[in-house]
Structure 1
Amino acid sequence: MLGVQIRISWPTGQLTATIDETPTSKALMGVLPFTATARTWGEEVYFETPVSPAPEPDARQVVEPGTGAFWTDGDALALPYGPTPISRDGECRLASPCNVLGRIDGDPRRLASVRDGDPVRVEHVATDRA
């Protein structure tokens, strides 16, 4: 499963993310596609998912912009693209330690066009198979 891509789309845009193989990502991939309601928190977009994984040993609270993370306290994907209300010195500080899933492909600031309450769809990216 290493390097699987997902597409995240909302009314004014979309992006892809490359997901690494972790217990959380396996659970998440098993429920795709799904639609959720976006929430924003500073320069982070998050939304609930149909899975409830446990925190992983390498869960982190401070991540790089564009990290795909899973907030286990809220059963939500967390996609930071800049500082949150609890950040220090411009870092991406999540609400609590999150399981790291992978990275957004390209510029994570595209998430700035997501509005609180937007519908968000998460799905596999189709791959060509010969």
Structure 2
Amino acid sequence: MPNKIVISTEDFEVEAVLLEEDRPETCEKIWNALPIEGKASLYKEEIYFEIPVDIGPEDATPSAEKGDVSYWPEGNSFCVFFGESQPVSPVNTFAKIEESSEEFRGVESGEKIEVRKG
């Protein structure tokens, strides 16, 4: 059974499945750092926040799809892509939200985000 993470705010929570075969180092380091929390920053249709993990590019890609959960090496940040926007620079996509990511549209800058093992 694949590892899952839970991303939550004050108003909702969603599960994401880790893509362990595609990004094993990124998945392992983030999994081992959980639980983590941060204050949301917004960039187009993406939420991100700095986390206490340092990972270099791992087959990093300059694109993202709706529902992708990624690590941004340049900013040591956890990212959730909830729309059609693309990252400012390559990211290590390491998990996928299988249900809707639309609820993230209501998240405001500075709002607390928590990530834990699912």
Alignment TM-score, normalising by the size of structure 2: 0.91
Give the deviation of 1:42 after TM superposition: 1.1
Q: Which runs of 5+ in 2 are unaligned?
A: none
Give the deviation of 1:3 after TM superposition: 2.2
Name the CA distance, whole Å, in 2 between partners of 1:78 and 1:121. 12
Name the CA distance, whole Å, in 2 between partners of 1:43 and 1:62. 13
Query: Pick from 16, 25, 35: which aligns with 1:33?
Result: 35
Name the CA distance, whole Å, in 1 between partners of 2:14 and 2:71. 17
Q: Is the 8 A contact 1:7 1:124 kept in 2?
A: yes
Alignment of 1:19-98 (within 5 A): 19-21=18-20, 22-56=24-58, 58-83=59-84, 92-98=85-91
Give the secondary structure class of the aligned counterpart of 2:102. Answer: helix
Question: Relative to total residues, which structure has the larger helix share, 1 or 2?
Answer: 2
* Superimposed CA distance per residue, residues 53-97 of structure 1 (whole angstroms, 9 cap, x where no aligned partner): 0101x21111211111110101111111113xxxxxxxx310100
- Runs of 4+ aligned structure 1 residues displaced above 2 Å come to none
- Identity rate of aligned residues, in percent? 28
Name the CA distance, whole Å, in 1 between partners of 2:2 and 2:87. 24
AA partner of residue 38 (structure 2):
A
Give the secondary structure class of the aligned counterpart of 1:30. Answer: helix
Question: Relative to total residues, which structure has the larger strand share, 1 or 2?
Answer: 1
The structure having more radius of gyration, on CA atoms, is: 1
RMSD, matched Cα: 1.2
Give the secondary structure class of the aligned counterpart of 2:75. Answer: coil
Give the secondary structure class of the aligned counterpart of 2:29. Answer: helix
Matched pairs, number: 115
